[in-house]
Amino acid sequence: MRSELDAVLRSSLGRRAFLKYLAIAGGTGVLAACQKNITAATQGGGASATETRPPLESEPGVLHAYEWAGFEVKPLWRSYAAKGYPDPKFSFFTNTEQALAKTAGGYTWDIVHPEVGYVQDYFNLGAVQPWDTSLISNFPDLNPALEKAGQLDGKQYEIVTDWGYSGVIIRTDHADPSINSYSYLFDDSLAGHISWFDTPWILLQAGLVLGVESDIFDMTPQDLETCKNYCIQKKKNLYNIWVDFTQMWDDVRQGNVWAAYAWPDAWVNTRNDAPVAYIRPKEGVLAWGEGLMLNANTENYYHAHEYANAWTMPQTGLWVINNYGYGHSNLKVDLSKVDPAVVRAFGLDDPVGNLSPPAALMDRYQPQRDAYNRAWDEVKAA
Amino acid sequence: MTELDLSIETERRGRPVPSRRRRGRRGAVTAGLLSGPVSYLLVFFVVPVVMVACYSVGLLTLLPQDHYLSLRAWHDFLFGSIYMGVFWKSVRMSLGVSITSVLLAYPVAYLLALVAGRRKYTLLLVIVAPFLTSYLLRVLAWRVILGEQGVVNSFLKLVGIAPQGWLFYSQFAVYLVLAYVWVPFVALPIFVSLEALDLSLLEASNDLGASRWTTFRRVTLPLSMPGVIAAFVFVFIPTLGEYVTPLLVGGPKGFMFGNGIQNAFLQGFDWQFGSAMSMFLIGAVMVLMAVFGRFVSFRSVSE
């Protein structure tokens, strides 16, 4: 058999034919992909809602929700199920960039759940359409500071449902809570016990500590350079750069880490095991929101609105706060059923004020995301 | 010997060439034989690589409005301040890991192939057994061993020595974990080449008065070199683009070339830049393969 293969490989005709077919196949694949992109480009972003839609009863009915793992649980859409709609079909992504890339590659869904900083990206992709908020009865009760972040050109492209902070968790036996600043993450006195998250947002936090003049989400090259150099200078103080939040929780519990970039759920999960405080820094805490976006070509338009309504119920909000340690956009959540310490840590007593400047700086689209990422690469490689 | 083989032989000896019809049949058979693997390579290797190359120059883009042809990513990558440095750092790490793995695996393979006798396949199974568990679990298990409250540091504390922070979240941890992960992979090709050794050569060496060490140095080692080099390549190439292990155990100094690619695609959402880095890595690997190809006959390894 080997001699046969040798003969083919030795034969110049075989090689030529092979290369010819290779080129044809490769070229066809590339052209097909180019065609897909060009078609998408000509369609433009943010397809508008179709004027005439089939009624809810005529829709296929089984929603496809492209979600974070853990957001498929029934308490989050209980009222949707209670109305007798079929259970949604769930698929999962591990981060928003992955979801966006798959969507760009042709993956379809009815509803997706990205952070507000990526609303513009989905719009640019032409993958989404605005919600008809009049069909979501809970919408008037949602936090306007959050819902504003889901708007483009005055249209509600994302129904923001849940939110959190990117603050700092500190061990109060080693760090003074009264400092109340992102400077914990760069403090020489905590050297060897600081943990950053693997995200360019560390550059934003450095910018807040340094008090850079330009908008931290769209810094001038000089300010970005300053933040990068500051991070490189302070990198010597790190214990690690965490990628797995449960690992960071363990390090905080065990006392390996005294100050870490953290979401509020870190404090919720460690407060009974160690002396910890969750810091919403005086510079303004970086906040993020995420919510539901509607596919431009969904065949389940009305079902999707019903589903969004279920997600924005006060009962759903209570469940999200008590079980996941995230905030919820509905302002009518019954806070008497939430631990008062959690209410204080989250600032749930004044969610509008606490999620608005100067108390908080809400995540938004970063036009220079690639520049921030490369600066962050330089910090990590330093 | 098949009819096809015969026809090739007659051609080689200058006898009358096979008829047109026979040549046609031969072509159809070989085309049929090759169609499966060639299609597989085309669909799952060549086309994706061509697409990545297109992304790297903007011929393809993720977002439709970014559709433009540009060498910006290549320029930024080749003349950027860090990426070539990170590449050479990854090369050094891969070399270190590959050499360490080969040094650790050779005695194991030698033992299995030449000493273990009838138990060698059972022992081989034992060596391969860790592969039955998840890669991630095997990597994270090192945290239990090397971490601040891990087995090693707890023992050090017990005997009055301060815990050693450099054991984990360090380049040392990356080297150690990668070497651990790859040793069984490395042992296999070396085992195969040692097992194929003609034992009469070793006996002849012994009969001629060579010591065991001399026999190993002059006979066993040279004859097993194709396996050693193949094993080295098996480790070197994948670890060059490794990013999971540095991410999990490397700490602040664990950033490698693979992490740069991952960041460009995921965090930065900069597919053009990530594709340029990926194409560079593919090119580097191909060059390295060509270099290694000069030192090893892959056919002799396969045989």
- What part of A 362-381 touches B (C-beta under 8 Å)? 369-370, 372-374, 376-378, 380-381
Closest CB from B33, B149, B270 relative to A370: B270
- Please enumerate in sequence order all residues whose Cβ is within 8 A of that of B200, keeping only pairs 6 or more positions apart, or say none: none
Please list, residue by residue across B15-46, b when 16 or more beta carbons sit within 10 angstroms of its beta carbon and e when fewer do.
Answer: eeebeeeeeeebeeebeeebeeebeeebeeeb
At residue B18, the pLDDT reads 67
pLDDT digit string, tens, across residues B52-63: 999 999 888 877
- Min Cα–Cα distance to chain A from B184, Å: 28
Q: ipTM of this complex > 0.85?
A: no
Q: Is B118 left (phi over 0), alpha (psi -120 to 50) or beta?
A: alpha
Secondary structure of B192-240 in HEC code, one letter for each residue: HHHHCCCHHHHHHHHHCCCCHHHHHHHHHHHHHHHHHHHHHHHHHHHHH
Q: Which residues of chain A are within 8 Å of residue B4 when distances are taken between CB atoms?
A: 4
CATH number 1.10.3720.10 given to B81-302? yes
- The encoded tokens of residue A345 equal 């840590």
**Contact between B260 and A377 using a beta-carbon 8 Å cutoff:** yes
**Contact between A370 and B268 using a beta-carbon 8 Å cutoff:** yes
What is the distance between the alpha carbons of residues A38 and A32, in angstroms, rounded to a whole number?
A: 10
**Contact between A256 and B148 using a beta-carbon 8 Å cutoff:** yes
At residue A51, the pLDDT reads 57
- Min Cα–Cα distance to chain B from A236, Å: 8
- The encoded tokens of residue B59 equal 């011929």
In terms of CA atoms, which chain B residue is nearest residue A18?
B38
Q: What is the CA radius of gyration of chain A?
A: 24
Q: Mutation test of the interface with chain B: which of A18, A122, A128, A241, choosing the one with the most B Cβ atoms within 10 A?
A: A241
What is the distance between the alpha carbons of residues A282 and A211, in angstroms, rounded to a whole number?
A: 12
Q: Which residues of chain B are within 8 Å of residue A256 when distances are taken between CB atoms?
A: 148-149
Inter-residue contact B232 to B183 (CB < 8 Å)? no
Determine the Cα angle at B242 with ends B237 and B246, to 5°: 145
Residue A34: φ, ψ to 5°: -60, -45
Closest CB from A26, A369, A373 relative to B50: A26
At residue B296, the pLDDT reads 62
- Min Cα–Cα distance to chain A from B156, Å: 17
What is the distance between the alpha carbons of residues A164 and A287, in angstroms, rounded to a whole number?
A: 6
**How do the pLDDT tens digits run along chain A, 382 residues long?**
334 334 333 444 444 443 444 444 444 444 444 444 434 433 434 444 445 788 998 899 999 999 999 999 999 999 999 999 999 999 998 888 889 888 988 899 999 999 999 999 999 889 999 999 999 999 999 999 899 999 999 999 999 999 999 999 999 999 999 999 999 999 999 999 999 999 999 999 999 999 999 999 999 999 999 999 999 999 999 999 998 889 899 999 999 999 999 999 899 999 999 999 999 999 999 999 999 999 999 999 999 999 999 999 999 999 999 998 889 999 999 999 999 989 988 888 898 999 999 999 999 999 888 899 989 999 998 8
In terms of CA atoms, which chain A residue is nearest residue B53?
A30
Pairing status of strand A276-279 against strand A155-156 = unpaired
What is the distance between the alpha carbons of residues A184 and A117, in angstroms, rounded to a whole number?
A: 25
- Min Cα–Cα distance to chain A from B286, Å: 18
- Min Cα–Cα distance to chain A from B157, Å: 15
Question: Is the preceding omega at residue A358 within 30 degrees of 0, hence cis?
Answer: yes
Domains in chain A with CATH codes: 56-163+288-362 (3.40.190.10), 166-284+368-381 (3.40.190.10)
Please list, residue by residue across B190-203, b when 16 or more beta carbons sit within 10 angstroms of its beta carbon and e when fewer do.
Answer: bbbbbeebeeeebe
- The encoded tokens of residue B201 equal 């050569």
**Contact between B251 and A238 using a beta-carbon 8 Å cutoff:** yes
Domain boundaries, chain B: 81-302
pTM over 0.80? The answer is: no
Q: Which residues of chain B have pLDDT under 70?
A: 1-18, 64-67, 295-303
Please list, residue by residue across A342-352, b when 16 or more beta carbons sit within 10 angstroms of its beta carbon and e when fewer do.
Answer: beebbbbeebe
Inter-residue contact B64 to A47 (CB < 8 Å)? no
H-assigned helices in B57-150: 72-79, 83-110, 120-128, 135-146
Question: B212: how many CB neighbours lie within 10 A of its CB?
Answer: 11
At residue B143, the pLDDT reads 86
In terms of CA atoms, which chain A residue is nearest residue B12?
A7
